[in-house]
Amino acid sequence: MFANEKQNAGNIKSQASNMWLDKKEKNDKVEKALKKFFDSNEFDWAEKAIEKMGAMGILNGIGNGYFKPKNNVTHAEAIAMVLKLTGYQKQAEAIKTQPAYFKGLSDPWSYGYLQLALEKGIIIPEEDGKFNPKAPAKRHEVAKYVVRALGMREDALDHMDEKLSFKDATSIPQSSVGYVYVMTELEIMKGTNSEFQPNKPITRAEVAVILDRAESITESEEPNKPSVTFEGTFVNYDEDDEELTLLVNNKTTVYDVNPYAPVYKDSKYYKISSLESGDKIKVILDSQRKIIFIEFINEATASTGQKLSMRNVEYKNLPEELQDIVDTQKLTQSYTAYKFDDSIYLIAARGKKLTGGYTINIDEVYKETIETNKYNLKVVVEIENPGDSATTQAITYPYDVVKLDYFNGIQKVRFINESDSVLAQTTLKSIEEVNIINGTIDYVDAADRKIKLLEKDGVVRTYLIPSNVVITLDNKTVRLSSLAKNMPAAITRVNGVITKLAAQSEVQIIETIQGKIDAIDTTDRNITLLEANNIKRTYHIPTNVAITINNKTSSISALDENMAVVLTRTNGIITKLAATNLVETINGKIDSVDSANDIVRLLGADNSFKAYTIPEDAQITLNNQAVSLSDLAKGMTAVITKTNGVITKLAVQRDLQTIEGILVTTFNSQNKTYISVKVGTVINAYEITSETSVIYNSESATIQSIPLNSIIVIKIENGEVIEVKNK
């Protein structure tokens, strides 16, 4: 099976060739020796990803060599995997304190990952709401985590209104649409039978494939990134020194290699000794730059490719659309490629730097032929950091933009550094050329060809309408002077240039939005509503909106969390906000009172106990009289009133009972005195304490003074006998 160290080169080559054969009786033993997990082949489509991510330390098994691909992945597990992929494992595992946001919900192993996810915006509470880290994560939720970890959240937010082509697109939560769009555009996630299945719990096998695809576009210069992936041509392997020689861009480099690193080809696993000189392979290096996983690509020798002519472009010379993109891209480390006006624009950025001396330059671009009429772009990037000399102490955003002629057939764009390490891999994107702006006309100046629109965000914006723009009113061509205030209008821009202005006669399109207030920002006049299906949306409330609370005119500062709200929108603009207090009552009997800590524990109708903290300003009454918490006692009937989720009233009534029966006997037990009383055919015992008032023939007496078989009346308050007298 395995080439022996003492065999001659001819025998080794012969055995290596045999190992490429798909013969189960040979390959089974090889796979058992090289594979990380026994059950990674449970799904053919996920096997390579599971083994590769396992070798990189991104995924762990469940023990005893098993991975369990069918098992669901929890939120905490998914977040940990994503952070490991982007190089934050050590930083996360150094955090030992439980995040306050997940107090009581998370396990110790996940503390650091959850805290880091909050800090890096992978978990955004105001967008995602509260969730249980131990609960299974859904497909649309994992899409969010991966996109945010890749630093592409802004891309997702820009595509929140996309019309996705999946059959079940309406099942994708609105807050996840942009993230699903980015994941599908990058081909990191795909649907099944034209369905995305957004709310389906994700499995360990699916996550392995997602991470494998995402790994190819992660940036190798992320801090502590656990691995580096790149392609090269196999030269030779020294088994004695455990070293592998690769030819990359006509330069040979020797790498240390794990002797058990698997070679993956055609869904099978082989030893390194099976490789032949000239084989094109992809290797994964760990943080120590040791090869831990090898993927066979083909037997052809790699070529450098055709060097392309390119031109550096200054910001002021970029089209407006590219300037907008650069303004966003330069804020974070990013590598992107765009097609615009028959040209290709390549952008490389390092993100925010607190000092000068950091540079990034696109040096060369190569056209690599994959097959007939299919090509990859290889972009060589030079990155330099400040040296020991003094640098300008100022915030900088180093980036570089180059332009080259467009050609068809481009499949992928790979950004690499001078050491041939992959910085990022992406696709060539087309700039969104058509943009439609909706609103209501606020002002028209036909002489200067200006129009002001009150848009959906409550902001009035001014647009200059060129003379060649097609203007319509109710689908009929008109002059700009025919338009008037309050008409609904839509401006169409192509490549940033206005080409159409369509208006309609003034109509009142009224819609209502209902929900419960989740958060209020009175400074920016924004409120977040928890709507149906637990969806949270934020709305801007213009200053001219009529606000009422319980049908009385009010202001935004008087609103409170948990109030029920109905928003009215007219022609897409919010015109009215009606809020009402949400009142809830809780009934039960007092089980205990802790007046020192303002806590009352109630026994509910379902026989369960629950403690409530009573605020200092809450109204407390006993039999409709104002009292303090210390005046209450066990057994009293209580009603707690909550207004907008806050306890505002505690109303208590004494529980009084009167029982008439025949005194059967008196007796003592465990230093306590009891009487037995017959009511009908039933005999019950009642405790008589020193606080019990005993009256016989209208005079105070002892319980023994009442003759047996007398008819007596017993008064019981809150479960205690307070009076016994003969009738």
How many angstroms separate the Cα of 277 from the Cα of each of 22, 235, 252, 708, 718? 21, 5, 13, 113, 92
377 vs 34, which has greater pLDDT? Answer: 377
| Token pair for 445 | 């100046």
- pLDDT tens readout for residues 440-491: 999 999 888 999 999 888 888 999 998 888 899 888 888 898 898 888 999 9
Q: Considering only 128-137, 543-552, 598-607, which range has the smallest mean pLDDT?
A: 128-137
Element housing 238 (H / E): strand 227-238
664: pLDDT confidence band, cut at 50, 70 and 90? very high
| pLDDT value at 2 more than 60 | no
- pLDDT tens readout for residues 214-248: 887 764 444 455 567 788 888 888 888 888 888 88
Average pLDDT over residues 502-519: 84
How deeply is 434 buried, as exposed, middle or buried, from its count of CB atoms within 10 A (0-12, 13-18, 19+)? Answer: exposed
DSSP-assigned letters across all residues of 510-542: EEEEEEEEEEEETTTTEEEEE-GGG-EEEEE--
How many angstroms separate the Cα of 374 from the Cα of each of 339, 411, 726? 17, 7, 107
| Token pair for 303 | 């070529």
Which residues of the chain are in CATH 2.40.50.140 domains?
A: 656-726
* CA torsion, ordered 480, 483, 487, 489, to nearest 10 deg: -10
Average pLDDT over residues 80-86: 91
- pLDDT, residue 526, reads 93
Average pLDDT over residues 556-563: 92
| Token pair for 427 | 């696709």
- pLDDT tens readout for residues 305-317: 789 999 999 999 9
**CA quadruple 471, 474, 475, 479: dihedral positive or negative?**
negative
- pLDDT tens readout for residues 375-410: 889 999 999 988 766 556 678 899 999 999 999 999
CA angle 21, 23, 25 (to 5 degrees): 145
- pLDDT tens readout for residues 24-33: 444 444 455 5
**CA quadruple 643, 649, 653, 654: dihedral positive or negative?**
positive
| pLDDT value at 22 more than 70 | no
Contact (CB, 8 A) for 512 and 532: no
Number of continuous H segments (helices) and E segments (strands) in the chain: 12, 45
- pLDDT, residue 19, reads 36
Average pLDDT over residues 599-623: 92
Length of the chain in terms of residues written:
727
DSSP-assigned letters across all residues of 352-387: -BSSS--EEEEEEEEEEEEETTEEEEEEEEEEE---
What one-character DSSP code corresponds to residue 176? G
Element housing 33 (H / E): helix 24-34
What CATH number labels 583-653?
2.40.50.320
What CATH number labels 9-34+226-298?
2.40.50.320
| pLDDT value at 4 more than 50 | no
- pLDDT tens readout for residues 47-57: 888 988 888 88
- pLDDT, residue 33, reads 53
Is 2.40.50.320 the CATH number for 510-580? yes
632 vs 717, which has greater pLDDT? Answer: 632
CB atoms within 10 A of CB 163: 7
**Residue whose C-alpha is closest to residue 144's, from 120, 178, 186:** 178
- pLDDT, residue 14, reads 33
Which residues of the chain are in CATH 2.40.50.320 domains?
A: 9-34+226-298, 510-580, 583-653
SS percent in the chain: helix, strand, coil, step 5: 20, 40, 40
How many angstroms separate the Cα of 70 from the Cα of each of 206, 210, 684? 9, 15, 61
| pLDDT value at 152 more than 70 | yes
| pLDDT value at 651 more than 90 | yes
Could you give the CA distance from residue 682 to residue 51 in angstroms, rounded to a whole number?
75
Contact (CB, 8 A) for 542 and 574: yes
| Token pair for 212 | 């494998």
How deeply is 695 buried, as exposed, middle or buried, from its count of CB atoms within 10 A (0-12, 13-18, 19+)? Answer: middle
Could you give the CA distance from residue 689 to residue 701 in angstroms, rounded to a whole number?
13
Could you give the CA distance from residue 164 to residue 176 in angstroms, rounded to a whole number?
11
Residue 623 has phi, psi (to 5 degrees) of 50, 45
Could you give the CA distance from residue 430 to residue 154 in angstroms, rounded to a whole number?
17
- Amino acid making up residue 235: V
350 vs 130, which has greater pLDDT? Answer: 350
- Amino acid making up residue 108: P
Element housing 328 (H / E): helix 320-329
434-503, CATH topology level: OB fold (Dihydrolipoamide Acetyltransferase, E2P) (2.40.50)
- In this structure, the strands spanning 546-549 and 573-580 are parallel
What CATH number labels 656-726?
2.40.50.140
**Residue whose C-alpha is closest to residue 339's, from 292, 253, 403, 273:** 403
- pLDDT, residue 82, reads 92
| Token pair for 706 | 């009442």
| pLDDT value at 713 more than 70 | yes
Mean pLDDT of the chain: 85
Could you give the CA distance from residue 118 to residue 95 in angstroms, rounded to a whole number?
13
- pLDDT, residue 623, reads 87
Contact (CB, 8 A) for 629 and 614: yes
Per-residue exposure over 194-229, b if at least 16 CB sit within 10 Å of its own CB, e if not: eebbbebbbbbbbbbbbbbbbbbbbbbebeebbbbb
Is the overall model pTM greater than 0.75, yes or no?
no
Q: Which residues contact 594 (CB under 8 A, 6 or more apart)?
A: 600, 601
Could you give the CA distance from residue 350 to residue 82 in angstroms, rounded to a whole number?
21
Using DSSP, state whether 257 is helix, strand or coil. Answer: strand
Place of tokens 């480099």: 253
Using DSSP, state whether 676 is helix, strand or coil. Answer: strand
- pLDDT tens readout for residues 349-367: 999 888 888 899 999 999 9
